[in-house]
Structure 1
Amino acid sequence: MSGSRSTPRIITPPVRATARPRHWVKFFLTGLLLWACTVLVTFFTDNSNLVPTIVLLGSFLVPASVVIWAYERYAADLGPGLIFTCFGIGGVIGVLGASVLESYLLSPSAWMYVGVGLIEEAVKLAALVLVCRRLRVGGQLGGLRYGLVLGATVGAGFAAFESAGYAFNAVLSIQGLSLDDLVETEILRGVLAPVGHILWTAIIGGVLFRERRGGRFRCTAPVLLTYLGVSLLHALWDSTSGIAVWLVARTTTSDFQRALFDLGYMPNPSTEQVHLYTVYDTAGLLVVSLGGLLWLRLLVRREPGAPIPAQSPSAPA
């Protein structure tokens, strides 16, 4: 046998796929714990100075968690600066614009919620365009993906600031501060936030960025039809309570209640009617939510795979 030694084989260990960060889970659980502790301390101490903390934590927790999840999973190369800008500035611009336009353009009518949907979706879309006008992505370069994330971020900012206003109104009552109403309002709006403003603005944002060409946003037919569609979803969402009342009145009103109403008195609803209203209202919200989620799924599945640019896109100054 030869005295030469064979070259040792170098075995390279397999490279493990990098796990996606899940900071949103820690953020959500930590925020939820802090919110619950603040509620309990306020309940036992009657310290009204803690109410703003409850309002802010409860209003921003879910929208911010959704944004962090979307950013980590789908658009980490955008950078946190643009995400913060879309959430903060985009959300405030949307709330301010909606408040001004609704005050001057809307009046109580059967079509009021249609006007609310058109106005609020328009101001969120305008805020998205304003904040992202210098971002160099769109069209076939990941336009849909970036648009979905950035649209959802603007919608989350809008939802957070709007929820803070509703929570502030809920805590004020004739008897003083109502902690029960505040907690109930924040839980309800937190649960519904991902399938409301966040979902609607994500859809219109995805189509807007997909239709972008040459660094310019375009008002094409798909963008216009998507805007009208999400505005209709918004209007139906806001109308579910009124539709539920109408359905209960049409199906369960007794002759005595009808006679009182004809005389100008508002009859007290029965326990059965209250439960039936809750069922109708919840079912309406579920139908609208599923419609939006189905639309989002179809939008993503019909989009052909597009290459994501290797370099980070330029964020607005």
Structure 2
Amino acid sequence: MTMWQAPAAPDPGHRRPWLRIFFSGLVLWLLTVAVTFVTGNPNLVPTLVLLGSFLVPVTFVAWAFERRDTGELTPTLVFGTFLTGGVLGVLAASVLETYLLHPSPWLFAGVGLIEEAVKLCTLAFLTRRLATKTVRDGMVLGAAVGFGFAALESAGYAFTALFTVRGLSLMQLVQTEVLRGLLSPVGHGLWTAILGGVLFSSSTRDHFVVTGRLVLAYLGVSALHALWDSMHDIALIVTLLLTGTPGQYELLRNGWLPRPTQEQIDVFTVLSWGGLALVGAVGVAWLLAEARAARRAPAGRAGPGGWRIPVRPGP
């Protein structure tokens, strides 16, 4: 007979690998920032861009992975969805936006509709072999696609911020990465997680089902996306309507957006950040509502009257 031995208490670090990922990545990024500023070595710029752009998205995907429903969501599948979904998403969005969108008051609405459609289609394509589709797994995989898109998009913005009229600016690059890192949890990853949950909630083993609920969710998420992208202009217009001068009103009537004056900058900043916070709060509340509804509803039941898209189930 063997003596019974109580199992060892789990290591907190193993329970929360996302914390280890975040803090390890943050230290590496800070070291890269410091060495790049001290040495001025341009060979470190790609490392700085990639670490800063991927740190928060990868952390949140790892956090979401811990909350998966089934064993079908392996690290390989989630990582592949993150990387492949991100690349396919930014490539398709770039092509469509280049040829379909032109400067207009509806530009940001078009961006929201295109990018959310691309991410949704990419998610459906990459997960077509899953035999079991639960709402929570759909949210996790949707978040993976969205955060992959966000990471690559942030890398592009950070690289572009490096180039200024005064030459290369590492400070601009770092500021861009910090800002986008702080905002990324309530951006692409959140929006596509909502769509992933709705898509999987109305799907069967053999079909993705395009229901009215999915269409409404797509339009709603696209609206949040458009509001987020246009919040700078919305805040500026509201600021001018509240505190504008005759000269600024004249520019508005002629189709120009004047810069806020020094006296208006505080109002503009509050409106801009307040608007982003409101859009983010709506998205988080929506995701939580979808998760709560999923716990009360049976999984894998297709909604009535949907348009069925055949997919190949897993082996």
TM-score interval for Structure 1 and Structure 2 normalised by the shorter chain: 0.7 to 0.9
Alignment partner for residue 30 of structure 2, among 31, 36, 59? 36
In 2, Cα distance between equivalents of 1:262 and 1:124: 37
TM-score by length of 2: 0.87
Instruction: Note the C-alpha offset of 1:217.
Output: 0.6
Where do residues 56-95 of structure 1 align in structure 2 (5 Å cutoff)? Answer: 56-75=50-69, 77=71, 78-95=73-90
Deviation readout 1:38-70 (Å, 9 max, x if unpaired):
111111221111111110000000000000111
In 2, Cα distance between equivalents of 1:223 and 1:308: 16
Alignment partner for residue 120 of structure 1, among 115, 120, 137? 115
**8 Å Cα contact 1:137/1:215 also seen in 2:** no
**Change in 2 beyond 3 A, CA 1:133/1:294:** same
SS at match of 1:272: coil
Partner of 1:111: 106
Alignment partner for residue 177 of structure 1, among 168, 172, 177? 168
**8 Å Cα contact 2:232/2:272 also seen in 1:** yes
Instruction: Note the C-alpha offset of 1:275.
Output: 2.0
**Change in 2 beyond 3 A, CA 1:258/1:158:** same
**Change in 2 beyond 3 A, CA 1:247/1:136:** same
Is residue 2:286 matched to residue 1:295? Answer: yes
**8 Å Cα contact 1:203/1:296 also seen in 2:** yes
Alignment partner for residue 153 of structure 1, among 144, 162, 177? 144
Instruction: Note the C-alpha offset of 1:296.
Output: 0.9
SS at match of 1:217: strand
**Change in 2 beyond 3 A, CA 1:224/1:262:** closer
SS at match of 1:233: helix
In 1, Cα distance between equivalents of 2:293 and 2:84: 31
In 1, Cα distance between equivalents of 2:250 and 2:294: 57
In 1, Cα distance between equivalents of 2:216 and 2:198: 10
SS at match of 1:271: coil
Deviation readout 1:118-166 (Å, 9 max, x if unpaired):
000000011101111111112xxxx101000000000010000000000
In 1, Cα distance between equivalents of 2:136 and 2:257: 51
Residue 100 of structure 2 aligns with an amino acid whose one-letter code is L
Residue 224 of structure 2 aligns with an amino acid whose one-letter code is L
In 1, Cα distance between equivalents of 2:254 and 2:143: 49
Residue 249 of structure 1 aligns with an amino acid whose one-letter code is L
Alignment partner for residue 224 of structure 1, among 208, 211, 215? 215
Return 5+ residue gaps in structure 2 as ranges.
301-311
**Change in 2 beyond 3 A, CA 1:18/1:40:** closer
Residue 118 of structure 1 aligns with an amino acid whose one-letter code is L
Stretch moving more, 300-309 or 156-165:
300-309
Alignment partner for residue 205 of structure 1, among 192, 196, 199? 196
Instruction: Note the C-alpha offset of 1:258.
Output: 4.6
In 2, Cα distance between equivalents of 1:265 and 1:156: 34
Is residue 2:18 matched to residue 1:24? Answer: yes
Alignment partner for residue 49 of structure 2, among 50, 55, 62? 55
Stretch moving more, 106-115 or 55-64:
106-115
Stretch moving more, 72-81 or 234-243:
72-81
**Change in 2 beyond 3 A, CA 1:35/1:256:** same
SS at match of 1:73: coil
Instruction: Note the C-alpha offset of 1:214.
Output: 3.0
Return 5+ residue gaps in structure 1 as ranges.
1-9
SS at match of 2:295: coil
Partner of 1:240: 231
Count of residues paired in the alignment: 300
Partner of 2:95: 100
Deviation readout 1:156-196 (Å, 9 max, x if unpaired):
10000000000011011122111111111111111111110
**Change in 2 beyond 3 A, CA 1:266/1:302:** closer
Partner of 1:7: none
**8 Å Cα contact 1:38/1:54 also seen in 2:** yes
Instruction: Note the C-alpha offset of 1:13.
Output: 5.3
Instruction: Note the C-alpha offset of 1:113.
Output: 0.8
Identity %: 51
**8 Å Cα contact 2:111/2:226 also seen in 1:** yes
**8 Å Cα contact 2:130/2:205 also seen in 1:** no
Deviation readout 1:80-108 (Å, 9 max, x if unpaired):
11011100111100000000000111111
Partner of 2:179: 188
In 2, Cα distance between equivalents of 1:306 and 1:264: 50
